Structure 1
Amino acid sequence: MIEIKGLNKVFRTEEVETAAINNISLQVEKGEFVAIMGPSGCGKSTLLNILGMLDSPTSGKYYLDGVEVGHMKESERTETRKGKLGFVFQSFN
């Protein structure tokens, strides 16, 4: 199961702060099929990178099978990813 609560991701440079995703809450139960759709630049890839533990949220909570994973260390994310997630990339990786 995936559950996110109040998830935010902000990208910062010295001059600009950009909110890529803002206060998203979502719950996906085991066996559910979900499509994430929207126009270019709306934060779909950012959200999927966080859900795939390739990136961390700026704030908010992310639970995978009941375990909070949004702020895990990279080594912990790697171990969790190996056992619980799979990826189908749009381009060859």
Structure 2
Amino acid sequence: MAEISILSVCGSGVVTSHMVANKLVEMFEDEGYDVTTDECNPSELDGYLTRGSYDFIAYSSPIGDDTHGVPAFSAMGLITGLGEDEFKEEALEALHAAGK
């Protein structure tokens, strides 16, 4: 099983990011990945990216352009249920491009 690390970002860094993180764990474990997640708010993003290593960022609040080169995808489809497949496809493409 390939290991991946995902950073989930929402306005408060608590409720929505936790919900998204849980959904991502389930989604990518079904694809054969061993998933770890961290959760934060946009003001904490730079610190997390400086200290950690992430395969991608899933965000539900604006995060700006500086993602330290980490691919970032809007997680709104995971919240609304509309666009989940598109999110998964984009994230899988990024993972495959990174050799995972």
TM-score, with structure 1 as normaliser: 0.32
Higher strand share goes to which structure?
1
Higher helix share goes to which structure?
2
Bigger Rg, which one: 1
TM-score, with structure 2 as normaliser: 0.31
